[in-house]
Copies of this chain bind each other. A is one copy, B any other.
Amino acid sequence: MERCIINLGDRSYPIYIGPGLLNQPELLQRHVKGKKVLVVTNTKVAPLYLDRTIAALKHGRFNVEVESVILPDGEKYKDLPTLTQVFDKAIQTHMDRRCTFVALGGGVIGDMCGYAAASYLRGVNFIQIPTTLMAQVDSSVGGKTGVNHPLGKNMIGAFYQPQCVLVDTDTLNTLPDRELASGVAEVIKYGLIRDAKFFEWQEKNLEALLARDPATLAYAVKRSCENKAEVVSLDEREGGVRATLNLGHTFGHAIEAGIGYGGWLHGEAVAAGTVMSADMSLRMGWIDETLFNRALELLKRANLPVSPPDSMNIQTFKSIMAVDKKVADGLLRLILLKGSLGNCVFTGEYDPKALDQTLSAFCKS
- Taking CB atoms, residues of chain B closer than 8 Å to A36 are 329
A122, B157: Cβ atoms closer than 8 Å = yes
Interface residue A323 (Cβ < 8 Å from any Cβ of B):
yes
A94, B323: Cβ atoms closer than 8 Å = yes
A156 touches which of B35, B94, B120, B157 (Cβ 8 Å): B120
- Taking CB atoms, residues of chain B closer than 8 Å to A87 are 149, 155-156
A145 to B119, CA, bound (A): 10
B158, A146: Cβ atoms closer than 8 Å = no
Query: Given that A35-B330, A84-B80, A328-B96 are known contacts, is A91 also in contact with B158, CB under 8 Å in the complex?
Result: no
B155, A96: Cβ atoms closer than 8 Å = no
A96 touches which of B34, B121, B151, B327 (Cβ 8 Å): B327
A325 touches which of B34, B97, B237 (Cβ 8 Å): B97
- A102: shortest Cβ distance to chain B, in Å? 18
Q: Please give me the residue from chain B that is nearest to A33 by CB atom.
A: B329
Interface residue A322 (Cβ < 8 Å from any Cβ of B):
yes
A97 touches which of B97, B120, B151, B328 (Cβ 8 Å): B328
Query: Given that A87-B156, A158-B118 are known contacts, is A92 also in contact with B325, CB under 8 Å in the complex?
Result: no
Query: Given that A118-B158, A120-B155, A330-B35 are known contacts, is A149 also in contact with B325, CB under 8 Å in the complex?
Result: no
B327, A151: Cβ atoms closer than 8 Å = no
Interface size on A, residues (CB 8 A): 41
- A328: shortest Cβ distance to chain B, in Å? 5
- Taking CB atoms, residues of chain B closer than 8 Å to A88 are 149, 151
Among A139-178, those with CB < 8 Å from B are 144-146, 149, 151-152, 154-159
Among A26-51, those with CB < 8 Å from B are 34-36
Interface residue A98 (Cβ < 8 Å from any Cβ of B):
yes
A154 to B123, CA, bound (A): 12
A119, B157: Cβ atoms closer than 8 Å = yes
- Taking CB atoms, residues of chain B closer than 8 Å to A92 are 151
Query: Given that A80-B80, A91-B149 are known contacts, is A158 also in contact with B329, CB under 8 Å in the complex?
Result: no
A322, B94: Cβ atoms closer than 8 Å = yes
B151, A121: Cβ atoms closer than 8 Å = no
- A83: shortest Cβ distance to chain B, in Å? 8
Query: Given that A80-B84, A122-B144, A144-B122 are known contacts, is A327 also in contact with B94, CB under 8 Å in the complex?
Result: yes
A155, B80: Cβ atoms closer than 8 Å = no
Among A325-340, those with CB < 8 Å from B are 325-330
A1 to B314, CA, bound (A): 53
Query: Given that A94-B327, A322-B94 are known contacts, is A156 also in contact with B34, CB under 8 Å in the complex?
Result: no
A34 touches which of B146, B155, B329 (Cβ 8 Å): B329
- A325: shortest Cβ distance to chain B, in Å? 5
A35, B329: Cβ atoms closer than 8 Å = yes
A134 to B174, CA, bound (A): 55
B121, A155: Cβ atoms closer than 8 Å = yes
A residues bordering B, Cβ < 8 Å? Answer: 34-36, 80, 84, 87-88, 91-92, 94, 96-98, 115, 118-123, 144-146, 149, 151-152, 154-159, 237, 322-323, 325-330
List 20 A–B pairs whose Cβ atoms lie within 8 Å, in order of A's numbering: A88-B149, A91-B151, A91-B152, A94-B322, A96-B327, A96-B329, A97-B326, A97-B328, A98-B328, A118-B158, A119-B119, A119-B146, A119-B157, A119-B158, A120-B155, A121-B155, A122-B154, A122-B159, A122-B325, A158-B158
